[in-house]
């Protein structure tokens, strides 16, 4: 595997001359709960001195979108002006500049908007997709079916698992963390019954347990051979994760709420996780994501990016290790009709492949603009 670029994109003296950002509301066709009918994207455009533009985004489902937008407009845009167009060179000084407002969280989510736009500009300048810039290592990657489904009835959960099987997925993930552990056992048993003995099943508790309850729950649910248990404890409780990893045989997975490479290093050094799941936006973009990939490899941990398959899938295609990409049912940007261009990836039969595009291939449409998902289709003669 190579994480270096196939060739230097010849930044030369190109520097940042402008950064724009706007909020995009993305209604979900399958709400993630009664309080999550939509998610928020902050679409970004970076302008460079050589005339190149790059398009990126920040993302947050429910909380902080306006704060991210404010950081981009009032802090990052001004601090980025005149700096090099090389994303790997500009990321660290800007992260240090923003650190007064926090080392991670809103600051790294916002910084991703610039980082992704700079990588997009670099690939577009080279006339390549992102994978061409980083070095494509395989033609397809596995996708696992995922659902924000703790609020589903047992019948709805079983039906969702059946849809994944029918669509060709060989691995799926379901939410756990009901107040009654017996209900979790019943739900996971039902999904395992649908999947059969050979497909992989993962469980995600979304930080709902304390250490003792997690120990009891994981022990009970281990009867269904979960491939990992995700976020069983409060995300920032390093000591408890390390202790749980000693208590249970099921691999512990963390990462969607770890915001810096330094925090990932803490968990890996402590033996608190055998699976890491960096969210490319939450950690600050592609630049820190690649650093976390190296950390995971150094510690022998599996790495599977969290959500955002249109972006995660492209990066997974550049990684030589077995990396699975997560797709939440009916939540892809392309299928939701918010992309100006066709999606840069295609998922079929539980595999993700790349489509023809330049850069990241992720430009978000303006309100009311026709998109590939909404534009009228010509009738065949």
Q: Between vectors from CA 294 to CA 293 and to CA 295, what angle results, nearest 5°?
A: 90
Least confident among 250-259, 302-311, 370-379: 370-379
Query: Tens digit of pLDDT for each residue in 244-303?
Result: 999 999 999 999 999 999 999 999 999 999 999 999 999 999 999 999 999 999 999 999
pLDDT at 10 over 80: no
Over the stretch 20-73, which tens digit does the pLDDT of each residue have?
A: 999 999 988 888 878 888 999 999 999 999 999 999 999 999 899 999 999 999
Q: What's the mean per-residue pLDDT of the chain?
A: 93
Partners of 203 in beta bridges: 174, 229
Distance CA 133, CA 5 (A): 5
Q: What is the β-pairing status of strands 351-354 and 141-146?
A: antiparallel
Please state the rounded mean pLDDT for residues 135-149: 94
pTM of the model: 0.93
CB 71 within 8 A of CB 64: no
List, in order, residues 6 or more apart from 305 with CB less than 8 Å away. 277, 278, 279, 280, 289, 312, 315, 316, 323, 325, 326
% of the chain residues with pLDDT over 70: 93
Backbone angles phi, psi at 261, to 5 degrees: -60, -30
Q: What's the average model confidence in pLDDT over 107-111?
A: 98
First and final CA of the chain: distance in angstroms?
Answer: 47
Which one from 175, 259, 304, 357 is the annotated catalytic residue?
A: 175
Which helix H or strand E contains 224, and what residues bound it?
Answer: none
Give the whole-angstrom CA distance, residue 130 versus residue 327: 20
Instruction: Confirm if 316 and 345 have CB atoms less than 8 A apart.
Output: no
Q: Domain 16-127: give its CATH code.
A: 3.30.390.10
Instruction: Establish whether 306 is a catalytic residue.
Output: yes
Give the model's pLDDT for residue 76: 98
Dump pLDDT digits (tens) for 186-230.
999 999 999 999 999 999 999 999 999 999 999 999 999 999 999
Q: How many CB atoms lie within 10 A of CB 355?
A: 13
Planar angle of CA 333, 314, 203, nearest 5 degrees: 70
Domain ranges of the chain: 16-127, 133-354
CA torsion sign for 244, 238, 267, 175 is: positive
In this model, does residue 4 exceed pLDDT 90?
A: no
User: Which pLDDT score is estimated for 377?
Assistant: 41
Distance CA(173)–CA(367), nearest Å, equals 33
Domain 133-354 in CATH 3.40.630.40? The answer is no
Active site residue 178: no
Both tokens assigned to 104: 């991670």
DSSP sequence for 184-219 = HHHHHHHHHHHHTTTSEEEEE-TT---HHHHHHHHH
Residue 372: pLDDT over 80:
no
């Amino acid at each position: 595997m190579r994480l270096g670029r196939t060739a230097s994109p010849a930044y030369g003296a190109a520097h940042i001359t402008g950064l724009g950002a706007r909020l995009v509301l993305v209604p979900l066709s399958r709400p993630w709960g009664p309080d999550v009918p939509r998610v928020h994207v902050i679409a970004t455009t970076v302008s460079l001195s050589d005339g190149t533009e790059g398009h990126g985004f920040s993302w947050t489902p429910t909380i902080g979108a306006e704060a991210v937008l404010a950081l981009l407009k009032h802090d990052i845009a001004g601090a980025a002006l005149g700096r090099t167009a090389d994303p790997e060179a500009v990321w660290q000084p800007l992260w240090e500049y923003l650190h007064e407002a926090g080392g991670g969280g809103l600051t790294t989510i916002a910084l991703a908007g610039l980082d992704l736009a700079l990588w997009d500009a670099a690939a577009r300048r080279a006339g390549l997709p992102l994978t061409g810039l980083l070095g494509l290592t395989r033609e397809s990657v596995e996708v696992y079916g995922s659902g924000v489904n703790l609020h589903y009835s047992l019948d709805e959960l079983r039906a969702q698992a059946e849809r994944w099987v029918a669509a060709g997925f060989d691995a799926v993930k379901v939410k756990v963390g009901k107040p009654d552990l017996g209900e979790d056992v019943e739900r996971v048993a039902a999904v395992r019954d649908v999947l059969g003995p050979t497909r992989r099943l993962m469980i995600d508790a979304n930080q709902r347990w304390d250490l003792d309850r997690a120990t009891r729950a994981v022990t009970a649910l281990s009867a269904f051979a979960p491939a990992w248990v995700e976020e069983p404890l409060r995300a920032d409780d390093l000591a408890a994760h390390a202790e749980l990893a000693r208590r249970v045989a099921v691999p512990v997975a963390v990462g969607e709420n770890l915001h810096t490479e330094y925090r990932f290093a803490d968990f890996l050094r402590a033996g608190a996780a055998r699976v890491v799941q960096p969210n490319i936006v939450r950690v600050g973009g592609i630049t820190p994501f690649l650093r976390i990939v190296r950390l995971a490899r150094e510690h022998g941990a599996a790495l599977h990016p969290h959500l955002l398959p249109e972006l995660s899938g492209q990066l997974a295609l550049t990684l030589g290790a077995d990396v699975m990409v997560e797709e939440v049912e009916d939540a892809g940007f392309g299928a939701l009709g918010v992309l100006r261009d066709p999606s840069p990836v295609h998922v079929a039969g539980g595999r993700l492949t790349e489509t023809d595009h330049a850069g990241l291939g992720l430009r978000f449409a303006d309100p009311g603009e026709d998109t590939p998902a909404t534009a009228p289709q010509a009738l065949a003669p």
